[in-house]
Amino acid sequence: MQVRNSSTRYGLVSMVMHWGVALAVFGLFALGLWMVDLDYYDPWRKAGPDLHKSIGLVLLAVMLLRVLWRFISPPPAVLASHDRFTRVAAKLGHLALYAGLFAVMIAGYLISTADGAGISVFGLFDVPALLSNLPDQADTAGVIHFYLAWGLVIFAVLHGLAALKHHFIDRDATLTRMLGRKA
């Protein structure tokens, strides 16, 4: 399998990042929903948020690499069978997914650093608090993080449904290209 993207399909690096980000987003969403209901005496009360933050910061690094990778190895050309509306919708949809991912992670960072303390990443190193002590920072960022996370997950489900529509109804290669098969 090719490492870089070609004009007809995605390469291994793009596929691993795409599916890894999808897995992380849905995993973080599930973990976030679960951990907010933990009671004070639950042993996961500290471990759950610490894991959520660590995975979130690793995801941020992966997303920065993913953006860089799009410049190094551009995605395959849009299928010729797609009309103008589909091409524009796909570009805007991908832009919205990227913007949503970065926005939800920035909001999460602002929640975690509101008190001025950095964030430990799996106990290996700390990411410093660059912006803290804003008025109601944790509460405001928390509300934003919550709604952005829901919006991101809903939009990601729609993204997946669109890929399935292309595969089963349009019978084009949109989905198979992200699975490493030729268009």
For the stretch 109-132, pLDDT in tens is 999 999 999 999 999 999 999 999
Q: What is the CATH number of domain 12-178?
A: 1.20.950.20
Looking at the predicted structure, is the pLDDT value of residue 159 above 60?
yes
Question: What does R_g of the chain's alpha carbons equal in angstroms?
Answer: 19
pLDDT at 111: 98
Average pLDDT of the chain, as a whole number? 95
The C-alpha atoms of residue 103 and residue 94 are separated, in whole angstroms, by 14
Name which residue leads in pLDDT, 128 or 181: 128
The predicted model scores a pTM of 0.94
The C-alpha atoms of residue 134 and residue 115 are separated, in whole angstroms, by 9
∠ CA 145-146-150, nearest 5°, is 110
Looking at the predicted structure, is the pLDDT value of residue 178 above 80?
yes
* 25 pLDDT tier (thresholds 50, 70, 90): very high
Looking at the predicted structure, is the pLDDT value of residue 36 above 60?
yes
Mapped onto helix, strand or coil, the DSSP state of residue 96 is: helix
Looking at the predicted structure, is the pLDDT value of residue 183 above 80?
no
Q: Strand 125-127 and strand 119-121: pairing?
A: antiparallel
The C-alpha atoms of residue 178 and residue 138 are separated, in whole angstroms, by 38
* 23 pLDDT tier (thresholds 50, 70, 90): very high
Task: Using the structure block, give the residue that is written with the tokens 């292309």.
Answer: 166
Give kind and range of the element (H or E) at residue 120. strand 119-121
Q: In the chain, what percentage of residues exceed pLDDT 70?
A: 99
Strand partners, 121: 125
Residue type, 67: V
